[in-house]
Structure 1
């Protein structure tokens, strides 16, 4: 099966490319902006990822597209219209790729979206049937791309598969997990010893396994799936588990959540505090039931592998 992967140089893409390359029934090609920038055996150079990108050569004879490339961060928060910057890549670039893929005869288009499409906080686990409620520009752009993909699928018959992961962790993970890991590794005392929230995470090995399952599984066609480990943790428990996996003490101070939120709000960091203090759970029963999928890695195994380079001898 001919598969093309975008975002192969990113955190998710690197792990996904390695897994796909090991499958004997998959012939993987990675779309890159610079030759030799990925670990893939086969590459095709594609300049840019916007509404004008020409994918015709890259998509020749491909049956499946896995679109993991995206613009996740905008450095300058003072841009007059940051949403438009996200849209250029995450919406316009995605839909341009999808249209060209359909024209080239691609059978299935797998889009790596974000749980942020559902929202960034909840009181019960999100499901695929919940009304989308994106509250950040990145998530809004992902939601708009999803809507456009469904329209293209209806018009062309190309199968659409959408996967919405929560925070993805693993060795070398960027973002919030990377920051938490560095804090624990440095032994920095953290005022997060009394947090009783519940957060769903997904180990990179579990996310990759779900994506690979969706490449060929007939029941994945035209479906949305939420990804997760199947075990939720409070921020306090996560930090304790990370410290344990590192073989280091967890230096957590039990400060009341209300005091933390109040202080963060005064400092203009309410969004950061919500991610640390609020709950965000996902229900992965649809993937379990429809695909027969289950996370192959436990949270303990995933965290041990993620922080292995930090372990004390």
Structure 2
């Protein structure tokens, strides 16, 4: 099986290429925006430039059986684009569908699309998890663009022999994680007191190795064809629990002050940080029963082991 991975130099793509390359009988090609040093020398890299409606995939798709499309314009906290939705659509919708149409023409049999839980929405009531069958309710331009890409891909699959598998991850963490997850590790490592000791929300997360394992399964499992899957570690944590277990992975003590969630939310809203408050205090849970039953899939890595891997990488690289 010959697999093309787009976004092969990204957080998910780098690990995916490494794992696929170790699989017996699998040939891997990595598509990247630009050639970069330090990649896997055993894996062919093809520079396709920016993901756009005009990207030429002909060379990258030669002999390919399966495409894993992990490249995207990702969600950012403070987007400076004057019209973010238009920019997201150009890359995540038009760019994705351009790849899919060329994949059909090249005889590719399956495309695994790495979407986002933002297609479902921004949060759930505690104890009420999103499912793959829920009506999409994206609330920001990134989520809208991922939803529209999903719709377009399913239309292409319905009119061709291309099988489409859609995976919607929740927040992904692991060695090399950035953004808020990295900031939390830094705060805990430095012993900074944090006002997050009384948050009783529930959030689903997914370890990088768990997501990659599911993607590998999705490249070949017969029952994955033309299905949507949600993915998580199978254990939902409150922000308070996550910080305590993250501190343990760092061999630190979490200094968490029991500030009520309502007070934190009010303060964050007053400072114009309502979205940050939602991620810290709100719930977002996913139901992965369909993923488990249809694919006979079980997350291979525990939360605590995954946190240890992330913490070890942080201690080596960020100190």
Shorter-chain TM-score bucket reads over 0.9
Paired residues of 1:185 and 1:310 also in contact (CA < 8 A) = no
Residues 78, 36 of structure 1: CA spacing in aligned structure 2 closer, same or farther, 3 A cutoff? closer
Indicate whether 1:301 and 2:305 are aligned.
yes
3-state DSSP of counterpart to 2:277: helix
> How many pairs were matched up?
312
Paired residues of 2:176 and 2:313 also in contact (CA < 8 A) = no
3-state DSSP of counterpart to 2:53: coil
Q: What CA RMSD, in Å, does the superposition of the two structures yield over aligned residues?
A: 1.5
Larger displacement relative to structure 2 (265-274 or 66-75): 66-75
**What is aligned with 1:186?**
190
Alignment of 1:118-267 (within 5 A): 118-123=120-125, 124-267=128-271
**What is aligned with 1:29?**
29
**What is aligned with 1:71?**
73
Residues 258, 76 of structure 1: CA spacing in aligned structure 2 closer, same or farther, 3 A cutoff? closer
Residues 180, 75 of structure 1: CA spacing in aligned structure 2 closer, same or farther, 3 A cutoff? closer
Deviation at 1:75, TM superposition (A): 7.7
Distance 2:183 2:73 in 1: 20
**What is aligned with 1:10?**
10
Deviation at 1:32, TM superposition (A): 1.6
Which of residues 48, 52, 55 in structure 2 aligns to 1:53?
55
For structure 2, the residue ranges without an aligned partner over 5 or more in a row are none
3-state DSSP of counterpart to 2:87: helix
Distance 2:182 2:76 in 1: 18
**What is aligned with 1:272?**
276
Paired residues of 2:176 and 2:314 also in contact (CA < 8 A) = no
- Normalised by the size of structure 2, how large is the TM-score? 0.95
Distance 1:305 1:154 in 2: 41
Deviation at 1:74, TM superposition (A): 5.2
- Normalised by the size of structure 1, how large is the TM-score? 0.96
Deviation at 1:179, TM superposition (A): 1.9
Partner deviation per Cα, 1:143-191 (whole Å, 9 max, x = no partner): 1100110011111120000000000010111222122212212222110
3-state DSSP of counterpart to 2:219: helix
Residues 78, 44 of structure 1: CA spacing in aligned structure 2 closer, same or farther, 3 A cutoff? closer
Paired residues of 1:247 and 1:311 also in contact (CA < 8 A) = no
3-state DSSP of counterpart to 1:120: coil
Distance 2:313 2:297 in 1: 29
For structure 1, the residue ranges without an aligned partner over 5 or more in a row are none
**What is aligned with 2:40?**
39
Deviation at 1:67, TM superposition (A): 0.3
**What is aligned with 1:101?**
103
Deviation at 1:33, TM superposition (A): 2.4
Moved >6 Å (runs of 4+)? none
Partner deviation per Cα, 1:257-296 (whole Å, 9 max, x = no partner): 1111111111000010001000000111111100100000
Deviation at 1:214, TM superposition (A): 0.5
Distance 2:173 2:139 in 1: 22
